[in-house]
Amino acid sequence: MPYNLSKITEPTLLLDLDKVRRNITRMQLKADAGVVFRPHFKTHQCAAVGEIFRQKGIEKITVSSLQMAEYFARHGWNDITLSFAVNLRQSTGIDKLAAKIQLNLLVENRRAVQHLAANLTSRTKVFIKIDTGYQRTGCHWENETEIFQLVNAVRESKQLQFAGLLAHAGHTYTAKSKEQILQIYQDTVGKMQQLQAGISERFGIRCVISIGDTPSCSLVTSFNGVDEIRPGNFVFYDAMQLQLGSCRAEEIALVLACPVVAKYETRQQIVIHGGAVHLSKESIPFKKKGRYYGLIVPLKRKTGWGNIFANSHVSSLSQEHGIIRADEALFKSIEIGDLLGIVPVHSCLTVNLMRKYLTSEGSIFKALQL
């Protein structure tokens, strides 16, 4: 059953399940050679999308908040990595969940190790978060002494079990080319392996290396030297990934269907019902000083959507409005009351706002409700 476009009255997130399945399969095949595929579920936040992963044999997942971990645990997921530098104020909730499932945490400082050691009642695995150059969170990879002290502190605690080293090379998102993404990946793996060797020498154990950004996981051909991957965005992709070269346009699995509410001949602009509360204000630098907030596709009853319109962008967003700078072909083809599809810049943030999908099979998928 294709999308029933005639029933759409407001901004609606369309999800192409065939594309979702293909995106998962592609990543899974690449991970098959001995790497644990632990997809990040913060992108979809949806039990029904999770089921598609489960049908393909995935059993271990990643999330970015305790609330998501609790939600997916309720939906039968038993091995969840909460990939966020542990928020000490949530230790009661963390402990409660750790008693029910295999919950894996991230630490990156002594304070967190001490706090968890003192407050957790269930034995819990912890990864040490390594900063390989992104400079968001993590112990800097060069601080071997500090990292070894953390490994030691974890190993000395009865409550904690050392799970390995984890990195998120988020600086791939600012790379200027595919080559640069691959270079960041190689650099990250090299740094992690160096630490792994140091830990092996010092503690006589082989520890796991977990890495995870979508750009590098999409572009590398092999995960040699890595034990686990945690990409998330690849399940849907978006305009940002397209721009980075980590996906092709036909792999993007969701678009926001938006009603057209106005058009202006003199400035060749189309106004849609679809704004910052639907798409998020995530943007991509564009020409000199400009930014754009989405790409445009025509909607089609049978296939969902067509090719991205050239030279047309969502050029600004307010709370409920989106303004499209359209090329002539797009401008002429659209009437007030029609629908247009918007490819989000960042699908994770759009999903977080919309929290509901209309699928290519005619069903409604609900995401975690806040």
In angstroms, the CA 3 to CA 220 distance is 34
In angstroms, the CA 259 to CA 344 distance is 15
Q: Which stretch binds a second copy (CB under 8 A): 26-34, 58-66, 144-152, 194-202?
A: 58-66
DSSP 40: B
The burial of 29, by beta-carbon neighbours within 10 Å (0-12 exposed, 13-18 middle, 19 or more buried), is given as: exposed
Per-residue contact track with a second copy, 316 to 355, x per CB under 8 A? x-xxxx-x-----------xxx-x--------xx--xx-x
Amino acid in position 198: G
Instruction: Count residues binding a second copy (CB under 8 A).
Output: 58
Length of the chain in terms of residues written = 370
CA-based nearest residue to 157, from 124, 135, 192 = 124
CA-based nearest residue to 333, from 306, 369, 364, 361 = 306
Query: Can you point out the beta strands (E) in 88-201?
Result: 102-107, 124-131, 139-140, 160-167
CA distances (Å), origin 243, targets 178, 184, 198, 210: 10, 17, 37, 26
In the bound complex, what is the minimum distance in angstroms from residue 293's beta carbon to a second copy? 10
* Full DSSP string of 230-247: ---GGGT--HHHHHHTSS
Q: Which stretch binds a second copy (CB under 8 A): 6-14, 149-157, 186-194, 195-203?
A: 6-14
Q: Which stretch binds a second copy (CB under 8 A): 97-105, 205-213, 238-246, 254-262?
A: 254-262
Q: Find the binder of a second copy among 89, 176, 288, 302 (CB under 8 A).
A: 89
* 208 near a second copy (CB under 8 A): no
In the bound complex, what is the minimum distance in angstroms from residue 240's beta carbon to a second copy? 12
Q: Find the binder of a second copy among 21, 75, 93, 101 (CB under 8 A).
A: 93
* 230 near a second copy (CB under 8 A): no
- Of 55 and 135, nearer to a second copy (C-beta) is 135
Residue 68 phi/psi, 5° resolution? Answer: -65, -40
- Of 50 and 259, nearer to a second copy (C-beta) is 259
- Of 201 and 335, nearer to a second copy (C-beta) is 335
* 10 near a second copy (CB under 8 A): yes
Q: Which residues contribute to the site for a second copy (CB under 8 A)?
A: 8-10, 42, 64-67, 84-90, 92-93, 108-109, 111-112, 115, 135-137, 140, 170, 259, 261-262, 266-267, 271, 273, 276-277, 280-283, 316, 318-321, 323, 335-337, 339, 348-349, 352-353, 355-356, 369-370
